[in-house]
Amino acid sequence: MFATQNPVALLTLIIMNIKTRIATECDNLICGILRVAGYSPTLYNTTSQTNQKTMTTYQANVLSPDVEYNGWTNYETWNVGLWLGGDEGLYDLARRALDYDHLIEMLQCIGSEVTGDGVRWDDPKVNAVEIDEMLEDL
């Protein structure tokens, strides 16, 4: 079965599987610690936004140049990026996330629903594709 597959594709699948397992174990560890502290966190849910929905949102925002804010798609995306890059605790958490959907789940796990300025992490105006690009650079 594997002999006919592209070796690069096979290695990519293996690496992604390892990354997912590591992230899940980290989530389990963090959530276990939070349970001991009296919180009732939820673990990362593997059902997330589809790429098509994210891409549609991204394309809609790209086509609306009047909503750009400080080089970002809009204020909400800029604000989320600002907090993820400017707060040490959030930065460390963001570096461990697989993508923005995973980061939202991790933030919910620790009870964080909004940025320091009150923008919801899961605000539909936040350009997940742009935040994913930022997360790749962390």
Whether the per-residue pLDDT at 57 is higher than 50: the answer is no
Angle subtended by helix axes 7-36 and 100-109, to nearest 10: 10
pTM beyond cutoff 0.75: no
Q: How confident is the model at residue 70 (pLDDT cuts 50, 70, 90)?
A: confident
The average pLDDT across 37-59 equals 46
By the 8 A CB rule, do 134 and 97 touch? no
By the 8 A CB rule, do 49 and 128 touch? yes
The count of other CB atoms within 10 Å of the CB of residue 4 is 5
Note down the domain range covering 118.
Answer: 2-137
Whether the per-residue pLDDT at 66 is higher than 60: the answer is no
The one-letter code for the residue type at 20 is: T
State the pLDDT at residue 5. 67
Total domains in the fold of the chain: 1
State the pLDDT at residue 8. 75
Whether the per-residue pLDDT at 113 is higher than 60: the answer is yes
If one compares 69 and 40, the residue with the highest pLDDT of the two is 69
